Amino acid sequence: MKSKKLLIFISFFVTLNIASTVYADDLTKRVGFGFGNPYISIKLGLSPKCSIEGRGAFGSGIKVRGGRFYYNFNPQDKAVIYTGGEYSQISFDTKNISGDGSLKYLFVGGEYFITSHLTFNLDIGPIYLSLKEEKTNISSKESAWLYN
Amino acid sequence: MRRILLSLLIISIILSIASKSHAKIHFGVIPIIEEEIDEIIEKIKTKVPQVTLKAWSDGMSFTFPEGVFEFGEYYGGYDMKYNSHSQLIFYRLWNWEGGYVYNIIYDGFGRRIGGNAFLPTTNPYISYNIHIFDISFDDHGEYKSFKTTINGYLFTYP
């Protein structure tokens, strides 16, 4: 029930942004730095429609490092709708166990230009996660939904 | 306008699938990874030990190479060696987390006569050897002396 309310909120947010004023903008060769929950990133616009991003997320003993590819549907607008994919490597050394793994994430989302230099973005999609403990070789695989 | 409508359609489809899906929705990757780590810990705790029986010229041993036991907050394995009279002559305990090996040696009467522990250092070929105890008995099997010493570094070459 909580997740449904959240999805309604996201839908409302995205729709509201699209209805807002158009903000002509070209993302080519623009570099952006991002901070999120909890991650840091650096993003580079390759063309008006395509961007790549390097991302690192860190928790207690958990490190996630990877890259993203974005396809922007409407880069000239103030609210840019995008889709893309992410692949990241995971390493962990916490709770007396250590190991590594990977994640694959397909997403769709929106980036809202608050000003021409400051944006807010949110994406959602299915994630496939695979982890393996190094000493016992016990692994865990999980599919879930993620919003970032 | 067509692009916006198309992207809205894609978002609606994704959100619709997500809302009908029974899978959990997570905010950020770290919480989902933490959940998976907890799941791995549960799997380690519930793993059934696989016992290996080995025959030696002077007895036999039970080994638990995949065995999991809880030793405080750590996990490891152990094995035991018996002589032909079913008397325990060797007991070894090792720990996956700290990497230490703890040995206890018994005499033919099941009495502890020695033991040591190997602790790792940052160098993979050097470990610290602690000689924990050395108990001796006289010819009649009576306790004679007890000695505990701490040795220096133990060098191992590949």
Closest residue to B18, CB basis, from A37, A124, A129: A124
Output the pLDDT for position B132. 59
With CB atoms and an 8 Å threshold, state whether A81 touches B7: yes
Tell me if the pTM is above 0.90: no
Chain B contact present for A74, CB below 8 A: yes
Mean pLDDT, residues A124-143 taken together: 88
Q: Which amino acid, residue B104?
A: I
Is residue B55 pLDDT above 60, yes or no? Answer: no
Higher pLDDT, B147 or B68: B147
Output the pLDDT for position A55. 93
Closest residue to B40, CB basis, from A58, A108, A131: A131
Nearest chain A CA: its distance from B133 CA (Å): 29
Nearest chain B CA: its distance from A46 CA (Å): 20
3-state secondary structure of B5: helix
* Structure-block tokens of residue A118: 């400051």
Gap between the Cα atoms of A63 and A38, Å rounded:
11
Mean pLDDT, residues B84-107 taken together: 65
Higher pLDDT, B72 or B94: B94
With CB atoms and an 8 Å threshold, state whether B3 touches A73: yes
Closest residue to A7, CB basis, from B8, B18, B43: B18
pLDDT tens digits for A68-103?
A: 999 988 888 888 889 999 999 999 998 878 899 999
Q: Output the average pLDDT for chain A.
A: 81
Which residues 42-61 on chain A approach chain B with CB closer than 8 angstroms? 57-59
Chain B contact present for A10, CB below 8 A: yes
Is residue B20 pLDDT above 80, yes or no? Answer: no
Is residue A115 pLDDT above 80, yes or no? Answer: yes
B130 pLDDT band, cuts 50/70/90, is: low
Nearest chain B CA: its distance from A31 CA (Å): 23
Name the closest residue on chain B to residue A103, using Cα atoms: B29
* Structure-block tokens of residue A83: 């889709």
Among A121, A124, A131, CA closest to A147: A124
Nearest chain A CA: its distance from B101 CA (Å): 15
Residues 6+ apart with CB under 8 A from B46: none
Under 8 Å between Cβ of B123 and B108: no
Output the pLDDT for position B133. 59
